[in-house]
Structure 1
């Protein structure tokens, strides 16, 4: 859905590639949570080649601090690779009461 499609990119990490820290925050609005997926990708800065990734249904992302286990491009588990994130969501409805279909969800994800 174009209404729920967005793309964020962190700054490249040039040092400490064994345990990089981004400390960047991303916030986006979601209208149809049950149809949304969140994809994390680790991309080589020089070649734009994806070295690790993970795609999760947005409704499966629980709020709070989490380790997101990364996978290869072929969806094979990478045992020692994960992203430490914090996610938080808030919901807003129109003035005068909200129905489940009219809620707008604001999702914030922080990558550390």
Structure 2
């Protein structure tokens, strides 16, 4: 997403092949886009694949060293999971 906004929408879908989902993790890493310098880290969130529940979630991002330091760093995500 490269449009300047505080409410970006990606509309991305990902397909992952997991051989051992019991120990797999999913990490959301959010960075801003800078055309003249390196992209800046905004925040991240990691969770076990087996704890994912489908639906909408408001996810607070960890902004440094595993703890939330900025209450405004969050994403609202629709997450789906399909096992085959």
Unaligned stretches of 5+ in structure 1?
Answer: 1-11, 93-112
Which protein has the larger Cα radius of gyration, Structure 1 or Structure 2? 1
- In structure 2, the partner of 1:14 is 3
CA RMSD of aligned residues (A): 1.8
Structure having greater relative contact order (Cα 8 Å, sep ≥ 6): 1
Q: Matched residues in 2 for 1:79 and 1:87: separation?
A: 22
Q: Does the alignment pair 1:87 with 2:79?
A: yes
**Matched residue SS, 1:59:** helix
* Aligned 8 A contact 1:50 1:73 in 2: no
Unaligned stretches of 5+ in structure 2?
Answer: none
Aligned residues: 80
Query: TM-score normalized by structure 2?
Result: 0.76
